[in-house]
Amino acid sequence: MIFLHIHIFKMRNGEKRERMLFFLSFAFTVYCIVMSLRTLFIPNTVKGKLISVENFVYLSFVYLTILIGFGLIYVLLETKGYRILIEQYPSSSDRFVDRLGTYVYFSGVTLFSVGYGDIAPVGLGRIIVMLEALIGYTIPTAFVAQAVFFRDRK
């Protein structure tokens, strides 16, 4: 902890703000993903019928939060210099919004286990992709198991 404090103390103000913004953005994104996943395991979050509009909207928001969250994690890591993926047809634009769109697309392809092959993870990205793919497989299983469990309890 002391080393971290000394290291931050030696940085210039702009570097401090940039690093702090990165860590806060990263931590907040991870927090949102964890809280979305946590709701799958809290009792009484799925009420009523096995398939209802409420359940569909709920599941859609969980997926959307995780999809965008992982897209943000990928783009945040890229802005810090980590190479996360290789594109078969790279975009000529280096704008943040375009990069974010690419990473959210990649996150969706990974989360839903589509795997078109136009983008491939490399380095640290492979580890993060495995975690996202695991979550993509686990969410429907947990959702159905929870719905069946609560239906049987009634």
- Going residue by residue through the chain (154 aa), what tens digit of pLDDT does each one get? 444 444 555 556 778 888 889 999 999 999 988 887 776 666 554 554 445 667 778 888 999 999 999 999 999 999 999 999 998 888 777 788 888 899 999 999 999 888 888 999 999 999 999 999 999 999 888 877 877 776 666 6
Q: How many CA atoms lie within 13 A of 29 on its CB side?
A: 19
Give pLDDT, residue 104: 93
State how far the Cα of 99 lies from the Cα of 112, in Å rounded to an integer.
20
State how far the Cα of 55 lies from the Cα of 60, in Å rounded to an integer.
8
CB of 135 closer than 8 Å to CB of 113: no
Angle at 83 between CA 79 and CA 86, to 5 degrees: 120
Give pLDDT, residue 52: 65
* The token pair that represents 95 in the structure block: 């704008």
Q: Indicate the fold that domain 2-153 takes in CATH.
A: Helix Hairpins (1.10.287)
Domain boundaries, the chain: 2-153
Q: Residue 84 contacts by C-beta under 8 Å, 6 or more apart in sequence? A: 74, 77, 78, 103, 121, 122, 123, 124, 125, 128
Give pLDDT, residue 151: 67
Residues paired with 121 in a beta bridge = 85
